[in-house]
Structure 1
Amino acid sequence: MNVSDEELLTDLFRTIALMRKSFDRAMTEQGASLAQTKVLMCIKARSGNARAVDIAEIMGVAPRTATEALDGLERDGLIRRIPDKEDRRVKRLTLTPAGEAAVAVAEPLRRQLMTKLLANLNPSERLNFHAALQKLLEGLADA
């Protein structure tokens, strides 16, 4: 059976959109959206050395978009901006205790949702799916 390029990519984009919506809904119910959790995890991974420009680069968004997201997290009490000791123009990002708690709740839930989503694939299908994704990523890296 042949599948057209259009049908294959439409199914892929639809899967990603539904996955994001499902993850976001479940995670928001627990206190932090999928997008918020991603930013919080990036900040946590940088151990207090993250800057807004770092978050923009990691997330693949414009600096202004990252700044707006960080403003919201700061307003919600999940992060703090701390002046850099060596360059007062720079603000370092750190999680507040509430931010740490949000990550502590969201990360296990995110993993649980991933496991549930991928449970429909048997080990052979998982390997084939992974191999296909790697080929797509290699093609995009070359582009």
Structure 2
Amino acid sequence: MNETVATTRADYIAMIDDVIRQITWQSHKQLLQTLSRPEISLTMPQMVTLFAIRNAGTCRMSELAEVTQQSAGTLTGIVDRLILDHLVGRVRDLEDRRVVQVTLTPQGEERLALVEQARREDMEQILYNLRLNQLAELEGMLRMLLNGIHDLLNSHTITLNPPRISTRTTPVFTPFQSVQA
């Protein structure tokens, strides 16, 4: 008697969760390897901070701490190191001279361009064996997954935190946002 075992939705979800966990871990290790290249030479917190500053343009340290989800003390150390490396500069706020803001320098822009180029090259190598139609399918499915993650985060934000009235909005930060987006 041939008995077939049907794979349930829960089984597939468990397998997908395991693959995503492995992808997350391996991607993190691979990104750290990319950042350690001599021409890039950044830590993960430095890279996240640089992308956040680029996305914001010029920003206060308190805003940067909120967007990067780092403590003010930790962020000060990171920014100080980025300043020593000439990747970030401090500027006075034009409206309130007591306020210091941070901005990306041309060298910081160049370093981020190197990170983005290295990531594109790495992804080309990782996805080398996929045909064009497979790449299109993968991209579509990953977008659906990302939308599900955004929906879950938004529903938890609403459920866990009561709505607050705010006079400003904080942009969503994604480390590898496209400049054109």
TM exceeding 0.5: yes
Residue 84 of structure 1 pairs with residue 84 of structure 2: no
Residues 16 and 94 of structure 1: is their aligned pair in 2 closer, same or farther, counting only changes over 3 Å?
same
Question: Once the two structures are aligned, what percentage of the paired residues are identical?
Answer: 28
1:141 alignment counterpart: 150
Q: CA RMSD in A?
A: 2.8
State how far apart, in whole Å, the 1-side matches of 2:34 and 2:110 are.
16
Structure 1 window deviating more from structure 2 (94-103 vs 111-120): it is 94-103
TM-score by length of 1: 0.73
More helix by share: 1
Q: What are the ranges of 5 or more consecutive residues in structure 2 without an aligned counterpart?
A: 1-5, 153-181
Residue 23 of structure 1 pairs with residue 35 of structure 2: no
State how far apart, in whole Å, the 2-side matches of 1:57 and 1:117 are.
33
Bigger-Rg structure (1/2): 2
| SS of residue in 2 equivalent to 1:82 | strand
Task: Provide, for residues 81-134 of structure 1, a one-character-per-residue CA deviation record: whole Å limited to 9, x for no partner.
Answer: 212121234322123454344234333222212222222332222222222222
Q: Which amino acid aligns with 2:54?
A: K
State how far apart, in whole Å, the 1-side matches of 2:17 and 2:26 are.
14
Residues 139 and 45 of structure 1: is their aligned pair in 2 closer, same or farther, counting only changes over 3 Å?
closer
Residues 52 and 120 of structure 1: is their aligned pair in 2 closer, same or farther, counting only changes over 3 Å?
farther
TM-score by length of 2: 0.61
2:175 alignment counterpart: none
On the 8 A contact 1:80/1:94 being kept in 2, the answer is: yes
Q: What are the ranges of 5 or more consecutive residues in structure 1 without an aligned counterpart?
A: none
State how far apart, in whole Å, the 2-side matches of 1:90 and 1:121 are.
50
Residue 12 of structure 1 pairs with residue 17 of structure 2: no
